[in-house]
Amino acid sequence: MRICLVSMPWHLLETPCLPIGLLRARVDACRDPHTVVDYYGNLRWAEYLLDVSGGQIAEAEYSYVADRGVWHEMGEWIFAGALYDDPAWRVDTYRAYLEARNLDPGASLRMREHAAGFVDLAAREILEERPDLVGFTTTFQQNVSSLAVARRIKQLRPDVQVVFGGGNCDGPMGAALHRNFPFVDHVVSGEGELAFVALLDALSEGRAPAGVPGLVTRGPDGESVAGPPAAMVPIDMVPRPDFTAWWSAYGDGRFAERLSPVLLYEASRGCWWGEKHHCTFCGLNGTTMKFRAKPATRVWDDITHLVETHGVLDIVTVDNILDVAYLAELMPRIQESGWDLRIRYEVKANLKPDQLAALRDAGVTHIQPGIESLNSRALRLMDKGVHGTQNVFLLRASDEYQLTVDWNYLYGFPDERAGDYRPVIEQIPAMVHLQPPSGSVRVLIERFSPHFQSRERGFAERRPSRMYQHVYDLPESELEDLAYQFEAPPQGIDEDVASDLRAAIAAWRHDHAASTLTWRETEDGLVIDEGRAGRPRCEYVLSDPAQARSYRLMERPRTIAALARELAAEGFAMSEETLRRWVGELRGAGLVFEDDDRVVALATNRRPLRVAEVG
């Protein structure tokens, strides 16, 4: 068979498409040989927009819809007019939605005018490849552009088989897609490595593919027939991705000279933390939480191959969580290479200093540690398994190890109280020299999360997010199965506390660039340089050795009792009461952060190297 694998907008322009890279490599496991071609509808759309707008709608406008619009189904709305053959489709609903939230539409309104023309062009370009089967991969906002092109393909060539797969097809979402869009012949729900091969084998042998695990297909009367749930894919069946076709499409296209490419890599699936304690808001890993990781040697071989083949040193790993074994087995190997990599990794927040050093030395420059909150009680409600002070430690240590941290402050958890936020809000001005969160938002209810799965958790009255209203012509009962994001009446803290938190974080973001707080050992003792915005420049001098030593011990989070014991062991005996008074003094000057009877130092051991964002 001739197979065309398609990645539509709004997949990012600078990255290959990982599922296509994997599935293309898996086709080799089929019984019959097949020819695979890729079609990067995302790149073609962005080029199309450049052309029709005379260069006015370019990569920045595209990224706005991909990155910001993803929270509002902007990209889906742009193509919904083409899907429903109605240029005016839900324009008013969309405008009202944006206005109510004071959102900038970006170039979305102008983009919509060009969507139908592009859909026709894309369908024809795909058909020029003479495919027997077209596979669309859909995550984030790739549903509607894919559906629109699939529909057009079926109008032009009804005999072509159309298959959908990807994050948007996981669990009931895949069945809903299949049920509601009759021009989709098959949907692979969940991991594709086994199901796609089984589907291709059935089709090339002329068998009906009904019964393939993880596949939804059509019965004799066009009705949806779901196979049994897919078996979990063993990690050694996850191949090294093949990005060669993407690389030439990208290189031949017009964005190679405007963007810098970033490779994607997947070393593991599932989450070892979530297997034991599923964070209550987390919808990652759809149906399979079971953690599986490639052996470090394979990861190293894959990375070497990808870096050498493409000459790209920037890598984003899509793992949900770093395999702890990689710290000892993989990172030193990468470090030995001597290559100047820049790797992004999602990690658990309880990393120790030597582990952070191992990451940095290997070129992991960017981490997403799932910080979410700085209060232990709120973190317990989320089942995060870390203390507030551990998170603050990680923020401070990240500056010391020169790691960029991505994080968000989440609130709105059932059973949380104002008291879980007020003390943090009060201490935020002391932390402005540390990396601020990108923002603070009321937690969203994601499919597959514990918040979603059990209504007793407090979000009983949930319904599909409003944003789906300006996209789909479907009743709420169908959206219930198709949607990924849900909303419910707010839980936890009220708007008063929430707006104070947001204001404190906005001030943190504003003051960060101009703030430092560093300590150094001098002949006079431990000296802390005050350089935080909003405070007069000064030096705090901890000349008493007990003062200096206690501050150094507080570099790692400790309870006051533990701190007193350690100080006593080092010959600095003092009562817990004295120590409390001292910690109170430090907190008064904003030199420590306290939460849940634990304390952690805030001053960093050297000033971080920062570069301001341009533009």
Partner 1 sequence: MDTTLAVRKPGAVLGDRLEVSTSELSRRLVDGAAAPVLLVTGTPYAPGLDAVTGDLLWQAGVREVRIRETVRADDGLLHFLRFLREAASHDIEVVWESAGDLGCDTRLLYHLPPRAGDPSWRSAYRYGLCHYRVGPGFVTVTDQRRGPAVPFTLRNPQEIGLVQDLDRPGPSDESSAFAGLLRSGLIISNGRDALCLPYRLRRWPIPCTVI
Instruction: Say which entry of partner 1, ligand B12, ligand SF4, none residue 338 contacts (CB below 5 to 8 A, set by partner kind).
Output: partner 1
Query: Binding partner 1 by CB under 8 A: which of 67, 86, 544, 576?
Result: 544
Coil, strand or helix at 410: strand
Instruction: Say which entry of partner 1, ligand SF4, ligand B12, none residue 555 contacts (CB below 5 to 8 A, set by partner kind).
Output: none
What is the Cα–Cα distance from 289 to 312, expressed in whole angstroms?
31
The residue type found at 192 is: G
Closer residue to partner 1 (CB): 100 or 612 = 612
Instruction: Say which entry of ligand B12, partner 1, ligand SF4, none residue 608 contacts (CB below 5 to 8 A, set by partner kind).
Output: partner 1
**Cβ pair 309, 290 in contact under 8 A:** no
Contact pattern from residue 523 through residue 542 relative to partner 1, giving x for each residue in contact according to CB under 8 A and a dash for the rest: xx--x-xx------xxxxxx
Query: Binding partner 1 by CB under 8 A: which of 546, 553, 560, 562?
Result: 546
Residues 482-501, interacting with partner 1 (CB under 8 A): none
Instruction: Say which entry of ligand SF4, ligand B12, partner 1, none residue 91 contacts (CB below 5 to 8 A, set by partner kind).
Output: none
List Cα–Cα distances, 456 to 22, 103, 208, 318, 405, in angstroms: 39, 33, 42, 31, 34
159 lies in the binding site for partner 1 (CB under 8 A): no
What is the Cα–Cα distance from 230 to 595, expressed in whole angstroms?
44
Instruction: Say which entry of ligand SF4, ligand B12, partner 1, none residue 66 contacts (CB below 5 to 8 A, set by partner kind).
Output: ligand B12
Question: Residue 557: which region, alpha, beta or left (left: phi > 0; alpha: psi -120 to 50)?
Answer: beta
At closest approach, how far in Å is the CB of 432 from ligand B12? 25
At closest approach, how far in Å is the CB of 502 from partner 1? 21
Coil, strand or helix at 496: helix
How many other β-carbons are positioned within 10 Å of the β-carbon of residue 44? 19
11 lies in the binding site for ligand SF4 (CB under 6 A): no
Q: To which H or E segment does residue 278 belong?
A: none
Instruction: Say which entry of ligand SF4, ligand B12, partner 1, none residue 279 contacts (CB below 5 to 8 A, set by partner kind).
Output: ligand SF4
- Radius of gyration, alpha carbons of the chain: 26
Instruction: Kindly report the backbone phi and psi dihedral angles of residue 366, in degrees, each rounded to the nearest multiple of 5, phi listed first.
Output: -140, 120
Footprint on this chain of ligand B12 (rule: CB under 6 A) = 12, 15, 18-19, 22-23, 66-67, 70, 135, 137, 139-140, 163, 165-168, 188, 191-193, 196, 264, 266, 283-285, 316, 318, 320, 446, 484
What is the Cα–Cα distance from 438 to 445, expressed in whole angstroms?
19
Contact pattern from residue 323 through residue 362 relative to ligand SF4, giving x for each residue in contact according to CB under 6 A and a dash for the rest: ----------------------------------------
Scanning 21-29, 41-49, 223-231, 253-261 for contacts with partner 1 by CB under 8 A, the matching segment is 253-261
Coil, strand or helix at 405: strand
**Cβ pair 216, 175 in contact under 8 A:** yes
Closer residue to ligand B12 (CB): 168 or 515 = 168
Extract the tokens encoding 95.
Answer: 């405008």
Extract the tokens encoding 223.
Answer: 């009705």
Instruction: Say which entry of ligand SF4, partner 1, ligand B12, none residue 614 contacts (CB below 5 to 8 A, set by partner kind).
Output: partner 1
E strand intervals along 231-363: 263-265, 268-269, 292-293, 314-317, 342-346
Extract the tokens encoding 23.
Answer: 């599935």
Please return the burial class of 460, using the count of CB atoms within 10 Å of its CB with bins 0-12, 13-18 and 19+: exposed
Extract the tokens encoding 116.
Answer: 């139908």
Binding site for ligand SF4 (CB under 6 A): 271, 273-274, 278-279, 282, 284, 320-321, 370
Residues of this chain that interact with partner 1 (CB under 8 A) are 257-260, 304, 307-308, 311, 313, 337-342, 365-366, 398-399, 402-404, 435, 520, 522-524, 527, 529-530, 537-544, 546-547, 550, 572, 574, 578, 581-582, 585-586, 588-589, 591, 606-614
